[in-house]
Amino acid sequence: MKWTHAFLAGLVFGAGLVISGMSSPARVLGFLDIGAIGTGHWDPRLALVMIGALAVATPLFALGRRRGQALDGGILPSLPTQGVDRRLIGGSVLFGLGWGLAGICPGPALVDLGAQPWPMLAFVLPLAIGLLLGRRD
């Protein structure tokens, strides 16, 4: 994908996070507040955002698969061939714990980096280090 397409997609994604309020840790934590272990004030808006994302992405992925190429004419990446292993499970658990404790994940953290640089830097810097360490084999 050309960098301009990636940049525009990132802008649309960031704008969507801001407009939907999903760059707010309080909104995300409200979604994770499921009665028995929280205050019982569950906020379903994140689920609605996810459903909306699936409604947009699913037909576009199907179209790309039928065409045999990405919408921008690029080559579609092949599906992963490795199965579920300890690294995948461990990374998923760490991601979920971090998301649940901080109320933020990488996308919103990058969006919020402009609005509140110091608190988000405390999140984004370890994220970057983890990404670099994870690429080492």
- What's the whole-number average pLDDT of the chain? 83
pLDDT at res. 37 = 62
Neighbour count for residue 29 (Cβ, 10 Å): 19
Query: Which residues form the domain of 97?
Result: 3-135
pLDDT at res. 51 = 93
pLDDT at res. 38 = 59
pLDDT at res. 59 = 93
Regarding pTM above 0.75, the answer is: no
- Predicted confidence band of residue 133 (pLDDT cuts 50, 70, 90): confident
pLDDT at res. 1 = 53
In order, the DSSP letters of the chain are --HHHHHHHHHHHHHHHHHHTTT-HHHHHHHH--TTSS-S---THHHHHHHHHHHHHHHHHHHHHHHTS-TTSPPPPPPP-----HHHHHHHHHHHHHHHHHS--HHHHHHHHHHSHHHHHHHHHHHHHHHHHHH--
Number of domains the chain contains: 1
